[in-house]
Amino acid sequence: MSEPELDYEQARDELTSVVAKLEAGGLSLEDSLALWERGEVLAKVCDGHLAGARERIESALAAVEEQA
């Protein structure tokens, strides 16, 4: 069963939490690795959302330039 897709804000907020936990330290190696892996997934989700937003902006700008 796959996890529902997170929106950008949810992924960003969870990634911030992961980073804070890793920076705080005191975790076992296994827990640290699991958090790191989760952070990688969350970073990819954020990157995907940002790429989509960038594409939409570029399309909108191109449409405006065509009308000018």
Give the mean pLDDT per block of 10 residues along the chain (68 residues). 78 98 97 98 96 95 88
Is residue 1 domain-resident? no
How many C-beta neighbours within 10 Å does residue 11 have?
20
Is residue 60 domain-resident? yes
Is residue 57 domain-resident? yes
CA atoms of 16 and 4, how far apart (whole Å): 19
The answer to whether the predicted template modeling score (pTM) of the entire model surpasses 0.75 is yes
Task: Report the CATH number that the domain containing residue 49 is assigned in CATH.
Answer: 1.10.287
| Three-state secondary structure readout of 10-60 | HHHHHHHHHHHHHHHCCCCHHHHHHHHHHHHHHHHHHHHHHHHHHHHHHHH
- Which tokens sit at 48? 């995907």
Which pLDDT does position 56 carry in this prediction? Answer: 95
